Chain A
Amino acid sequence: MSALTFTLKQPTAQRVDMSPLVCQKLQGLDVDAIAAIELQNGKRKLRVDELFYITGKNTQEIIIANATAKLDFIGKEMDGGSISVQGDAGAYLGMQMKSGCICVTGDAGLYAACEMKNGLLQIDGNAGDFLGGALPGNKQGMKGGIVLVKGNVGQRAGDHMRRGQILIEGNAGDYCGSRMVAGTIAVMGNTGRYLGYAMRRGTLLLWNPPQLSATFNDCGSHTLAFLPLLFASFKSLNSRFADSSAAFNRVQRYGGDMAETGRGEVLVKI
């Protein structure tokens, strides 16, 4: 059975709420029923077939083609199956995702993977601010799963992050890992200012020396046994993180944020 493909007919001026088009909600629906689903588009509601050409039948394998940054909430609360976004994704990509896999060939907007619970979210381009963060007012961000970004990410990546892994091949903006509760953020590129601001626990794993606040204390250089296990778990990813030459187990360890609980760590490759 071929993948259920939604091809955007033309760029839309208003933003589109794509949250109804997730695998578990489409399961068992025929093409006519799917075409009749209404999507919020700005202040109007439009049928799916007014916005997209629909081909294929497999509701557990969704392709969104010609995608633009106006398509918000792709894969919201997704629970199994796969969504492949050909192009850019809007805000709230994979928000509160429970399981399954989302791949985006382009960029993603704000709040990608926010409050994500499990599964794999891969962004081949860049991601916006608050990647894996908590929604405004909420206390817990990403709670599990893996987010892989091949490009750069904006500010506040992993804000309030609770568990899971955010892997960034490019650079991270300011406040990376801010208010982090636990989990792991790995950044191969450079990081901005205020790294780990108010982080309580969790690990920031860096390939390049950061600009650290005074509230992070040097714990010395160490060989850590969990790092080989961590890198081994990346082997199945389509990423530079899977490359054995990227792995290391010798790090400089900084503890912080001492202005908070101070049980977090910044590990820098040496």
Chain B
Amino acid sequence: MIINGVTIDQTFAEAFPMKATRAIITAQNEKWAMISAQAMTGFATSVIACGCEAGIERVLSPEETPDGRPGVAIMIYAMGGKGLAKQLETRAGQCVLTSPTSALFAGIEGGKPIPLGKNLRYFGDGFQVAKKIGGKRYWRVPVMDGEFLTEATTGMVDAVGGGNFLVLAESQPQALAACEAAIEEMRKIPNVIMPFPGGVVRSGSKVGSKYPALGASTNDAFCPTLKGMTKTDLSPEIESVMEIVIDGLSKEDIDKAMRVGIQAVCDLGAANGIKRISAGNYGGKLGPFHFHLQEIMA
């Protein structure tokens, strides 16, 4: 399949089941909600070393938030419920509780409830106050700028992690420009995050390493500088490869995000140095979710 001069490989991205949750951070204005959200989702690119994958889903208008203030929806994905709960609580405690004017609310109704502010309340040292409003339990924790208001729990649901596609270009600036265009479109899709910095990964990995201690290492088949030294998957004109990784609440959500992302890349086309779209798969052994590129773009 070729779209606007860009070859779409006959391959699939391989993804695996994860657990996910969403939280809503509000603040006095969007600036401070975003600062808190960025802190909370920082260092959360890959479960390989971060314990979770997290990202900002979207900015919320005051009409969309529980307390009528500007807000940001963030999502966190992890391999299991325990790990997810731990990451959520740690990050909420360090990055939202501490952030000026912030409040924290559940972003997913239903699913299994996991603690959001349920244990953060102990920061109140006995001065915390519980309020059950409209069937939901909130905690008011006295802090130096006033009160930190947080919902006790949020919902945890089954999700899909590791959806991806690779952008193969003639130069590094062209690969990055294409990925930026893709991310801009993909951010409009609900229920997905692209957890890597700016949504783009330059260090795509393969499973395993020559060093026994490492579970993952550089994807040498897609490293342009190794073309002559390893079993490469790159043609001579490819000088740079970048990956976009997508976590979503369902396979369909990732499908949609991949479609608009790949389309945005293809819109730039061969004229802008974009040669191929491929995907990371590990022979179908990594996970049960397969995203076939040509089917998605059909």
Name A residues whose Cβ lies closer than 8 Å to a Cβ of B: 144, 163-164, 182, 184, 201, 203, 222-226, 228-230, 232-233, 263, 265
Contacts and interface: CB of A to CB of B under 8 A. Distances in A.
Contact of A228 (B67, B127, B134): B67
In order of increasing CB-CB distance, the 5 nearest A-B pairs are: A233-B134, A225-B149, A233-B133, A229-B133, A226-B149
B68 interface: yes
A169 B280 CA distance: 64
Contacts of A222: 146-147
26 contacts: A144-B132, A163-B132, A182-B130, A184-B131, A201-B129, A203-B129, A203-B131, A222-B147, A224-B146, A224-B147, A225-B67, A225-B140, A225-B146, A225-B149, A226-B138, A226-B147, A226-B149, A228-B67, A229-B67, A229-B133, A229-B138, A230-B133, A233-B133, A263-B126, A263-B127, A263-B129
B70 to A, nearest CB: 13
Contacts of B67: 225, 228-229
Interface in B88-103: 103
A228 B149 CA distance: 12
Which residue of A184, A226, A233 has the most chain B CB atoms within 10 A of its CB atom? A226
Given A163-B132, A229-B67, 14 more contacts: A182-B130, A203-B131, A222-B146, A222-B147, A223-B146, A224-B140, A225-B146, A226-B133, A226-B149, A228-B68, A229-B66, A229-B138, A229-B149, A233-B134
B150 to A, nearest CB: 10
B160 to A, nearest CB: 33
Contacts of B140: 224-226
Contacts of B68: 228
A233 B67 CA distance: 11
A9 to B, nearest CB: 41
Contacts, number: 43
Which residue of B127, B129, B140 has the most chain A CB atoms within 10 A of its CB atom? B129
Interface residues of B, number: 17
Contacts of B127: 263
Which residue of B66, B130, B133 has the most chain A CB atoms within 10 A of its CB atom? B133
Interface of B: 66-68, 103, 126-127, 129-134, 138, 140, 146-147, 149
Nearest to A231: B133
A126 B274 CA distance: 76
A70 B140 CA distance: 43
A230 B138 CA distance: 11
A39 to B, nearest CB: 35
Contacts of B130: 182
Contact of A230 (B129, B131, B146): B131
Contacts of B134: 229, 232-233
A5 B161 CA distance: 58
A254 to B, nearest CB: 14
Contacts of A144: 132
Nearest to B135: A233
A253 B163 CA distance: 51
A184 B131 CA distance: 8
A53 B68 CA distance: 51
A44 B67 CA distance: 56
Contacts of A184: 131
Contacts of B133: 226, 229-230, 233
Contacts of A224: 140, 146-147
B134 to A, nearest CB: 4
Contacts of B138: 226, 229
A228 B147 CA distance: 14
B213 to A, nearest CB: 47
Nearest to B101: A225
Contacts of B66: 229
A164 B146 CA distance: 24
A234 to B, nearest CB: 9
Contacts of A203: 129, 131
A201 B140 CA distance: 13
A161 to B, nearest CB: 13
Nearest to B26: A225
A225 B69 CA distance: 10
B73 to A, nearest CB: 18
A75 B20 CA distance: 43
Contacts of B103: 225
A225 B140 CA distance: 9
